[in-house]
Amino acid sequence: MTLPADYDMQIIRKRVASKGPTFDDFPGLGVKVFMIRQKDRFGAESNQYAPVYLWPSVKPMWKFIAGDGFRGIVDSFGWTPIHYWLGFAYACAADIDWRALRSVTREQTMIQPGTDLPALRARENDCGRDAVAAASGPVARAVGVDTDPRAEQPARRRMELRGAPCLGASSERLGRYMIIPNGLAVGPTQLPNAGVLPSVRESFGLEFPASCYSRESSNTSRVVCIGSA
């Protein structure tokens, strides 16, 4: 959600400090990350607030959207259309310290017609596994695919969470966010573990982690959700 240039971001930080702990016990939630962009910091051109959710399955996600959770967003920021993304790939260390994460980078690219989707998914899982194995700090990566039938091409969106600050300017393809200090809630539901590697957690089944966050549109804020198949 894009906020005015002179918006006091302490309001968001206080909101997170007040509401964040309630998500630790939210039924069905894997992880929630409270992200911001602050104007003139780390290349940000505007103030933005973007909460991110990782859901192991769809049912509890819809209990949030069609319940008091999403109603709280609407009451504070107005109605936001919901856009659904299918979970495509996911990886993180089995012993990851979620609360040590400090930044999120999201990358969006279009999937070209004729793309071998099983091969693309395998590559995304391999890349996620390699990123986790090579990192000196905590890393988690989730990838979603937009299957909107109105679009000429599906879009792939990759979200990477790291323990280091995000540096550099954002662009239409690449976005960078800060995680608010103490702005990460670990829910009661454990994220899936396929057991491919002892130190890496990935999902390969019919249900994948989900991510729900806000992005800037030309005329409105939009809540984007990555769900499971």
| pLDDT per residue as tens digits for the range 37-82 | 888 777 778 888 888 787 777 888 888 888 888 888 888 888 876 6
What mean pLDDT do residues 83-89 have? 77
Beta strands per DSSP E along the chain = 2-3, 31-37, 47-54, 82-93, 103-110, 139-146, 155-162, 174-186, 200-202, 211-216, 221-227
Confidence of residue 119 (pLDDT cuts 50, 70, 90): very high
CB 158 within 8 A of CB 174: no
Amino acid at 173: R
**pLDDT per position as a tens digit, 26-38:** 888 888 888 888 8
**Measured distance CA(172)–CA(154) in Å, rounded:** 16
Which pLDDT belongs to residue 214? 33
CB 104 within 8 A of CB 160: yes
* Higher pLDDT pick, 203 / 113: 113
* Higher pLDDT pick, 117 / 218: 117
What mean pLDDT do residues 201-229 have? 34
Show the 3-state SS of 76-116.
HHCCCCEEEEEEEEEEEECCCCHHHCCEEEEEEEECCCCCC
What mean pLDDT do residues 85-103 have? 84
Which pLDDT belongs to residue 60? 86
| CATH number (domain holding residue 126) | 3.30.70
Which pLDDT belongs to residue 190? 61
Which pLDDT belongs to residue 216? 36
Q: Which residues pair with 49 in a beta bridge?
A: 36
DSSP 138: -
**Measured distance CA(142)–CA(106) in Å, rounded:** 10
pTM of the model: 0.72
Which range has the worst mean pLDDT, 98-107, 115-124, 176-185?
A: 176-185
DSSP 20: G
% pLDDT > 70, the chain: 76
Alpha carbons within 13 angstroms on the beta-carbon side of residue 158 total 20
**What's the burial of 218, exposed, middle or buried (CB within 10 Å: 0-12/13-18/19+)?**
exposed
| pLDDT at 191 > cutoff 70 | no
Element (H, E) at 19: helix 10-19
Q: Which domain holds residue 129?
A: 2-227
Amino acid at 85: W
| Nearest partner of 185 among 1, 55, 49, 3, judged by Cα | 55
What mean pLDDT do residues 191-215 have? 36
Tokens 């979970």: give the residue: 87
What is the tally of structural domains in the chain?
Answer: 1
CB 17 within 8 A of CB 36: no
Q: What is the mean pLDDT of the chain?
A: 75
